[in-house]
Structure 1
Amino acid sequence: MIAITDLTIQFGGIKPVDNLSARLSDPICGLIGPNGAGKTTLLNALSGFVRPRQGHVELDGTSLLALSPLERVRAGLRRSFQTEQVVEDLTVHDNVAAIADHVLARAERADAVGQALDFVRLDGVARRLGRELNLFQRRLVELAKCLVGAPRLVLLDEPSAGLVQEESAIFRDLVLRVPGHYAAQLVIIDHDVELIRFMCSQTLVLDFGRRLALGPTAEVLADPDVRRAYLGEI
């Protein structure tokens, strides 16, 4: 569970996250809002790439903000980005192994990497170089990197962007299996409202850095204020 209390992030006179409090407790949670609402900034704060001006964040009772980004990774936090971070000159296996090197003892790394590649169905292309992969495969590599080494919290920033419908469906089904297989919680940013509706049982909506709504996804998406702010309805 993620507990966010009075979190404020400020860049000069701009507050992309403004006095935010929220408790995300479901296995798969959505994070939505208009462009510029503060979604990616919030993930950056959870990851340790941005230092909040004030507030507290806890993961299963452990304070995150006191930890460095690497310490958060070792504590089980994983993160994907809007643009996939696949190293072109490394194999699929070695892209995933690079994460395992930081979070697992040497004797555990090979099995963990193999399990992650098998889970995302990339074991057959494990020796292919990153530059040889298509977009779908690159997205799967990013997911595998998030799953290696006992993840506790996985943050996915628009993980299915650019995928065709069939690829998106496969990716969605893999994500739905993560909490049961890895006992990890997921927070997903995506502009595809139907994908959020299908995958996420709880959703947080941000608007100008503030909490607009939080609750069961179906109720949140039906909220008139959410529909006006995010879906453009009057």
Structure 2
Amino acid sequence: MIELSGLTVKFGGVNALDAINATFNAPVNGIIGPNGAGKTTTMNVISGFLKCTGRIAWNGQDIGQMPAHKHTRWGLRRSFQKEQIADDLTIAENLQVILDATPGSRADKRADMERALELTGLTAQASTPAGGLNTFQRRLTDVARCLVGNPKIVKFDEPGDGLSREEANRLGDLILQVPEVTGATVLVIDHDVDLIERICVETLVLDFGKRIAFGPTRAVLDDPHVKAAYLGIEDVE
């Protein structure tokens, strides 16, 4: 369970996040909204990159004051809009960078890497330099990095960006397996409403830093206020 209580971020006189409350109980959860709504700001706050007022808790544990450099060891993983992989390292070496920052025996880490490579279908390419990968392979490598080291929270920021429909569907199937394989709670930001509807049990909708809806994804997407703010239909009173 991830609980956001009164989450507020101010940039000068602008409320980037305005007292956001949400409790994510589902294995895979979505965060959606138009550009500038506060989605990535929410991810950055949970990651410890931005200071905020309010409380962030995981299964009752307050993690909001945890320094960002301790998050990897604790179990927080994040896939950014632009894949954060090193082109001069192989796929396996990109995973090893994460494992080197987490506790565990060498044997356990090796087994952990093998599991992540198998789950993402990258076992045969493990020794391939990342600089030679295509867009989908790079995204899979980024996902594999999120699977190692006993993650507790895994966050995906626009994972379907730049992918074909078939690739986005394959990625969605992979994300659905993350909670079962790792035990982690997953948060997904994406403008692909079809992907969000298919994989996310619960969804938070933001607009101008405010919460406008939260709940079961299908019900949220049917909310007239969500359609007005996010789906571009005529506004509602």
TM-score by length of 1: 0.97
Partner of 2:28: 28
Q: Which letter maps to 1:50? A: L
Partner of 2:60: 61
Shift of 1:13: 1.4
Shift of 1:30: 0.6
Name the CA distance, whole Å, in 2 between partners of 1:10 and 1:218: 31
* 1:124 has 2:133 as partner: no
- Secondary structure of 1:194's counterpart equals helix
Gaps of 5+ in 2: none
Shift of 1:36: 0.1
Q: Deviations over 1:61-89 (max 9, x none)?
A: 11111211132222211101001111010
* 1:174 has 2:174 as partner: yes
Partner of 1:231: 231
Gaps of 5+ in 1: none
Matches within 5 A, 1:212-231: 212-231=212-231
Partner of 1:165: 165
Cα RMSD after superposing both structures: 1.0
Name the CA distance, whole Å, in 1 between partners of 2:88 and 2:232: 43
**Alignment check: 8 A CA contact 2:202 2:215 kept:** yes
TM-score by length of 2: 0.96
Name the CA distance, whole Å, in 1 between partners of 2:200 and 2:140: 19
Q: Deviations over 1:176-219 (max 9, x none)?
A: 11111211111000001111111111000001111100000010
Name the CA distance, whole Å, in 1 between partners of 2:22 and 2:170: 30
- Secondary structure of 1:205's counterpart equals strand
**Alignment check: 8 A CA contact 2:30 2:200 kept:** yes
Shift of 1:19: 1.0
Matched positions, count: 233
Partner of 1:38: 38
Query: Could you say if the C-alpha distance between residues 105 and 180 of structure 1 is closer, same or farther in structure 2, counting changes exceeding 3 Å?
Result: closer
Name the CA distance, whole Å, in 2 between partners of 1:73 and 1:86: 15
Name the CA distance, whole Å, in 1 between partners of 2:96 and 2:103: 10
Name the CA distance, whole Å, in 2 between partners of 1:60 and 1:212: 24
Segment of structure 1 superposing worse, 207-216 or 11-20: 11-20
Partner of 1:81: 80
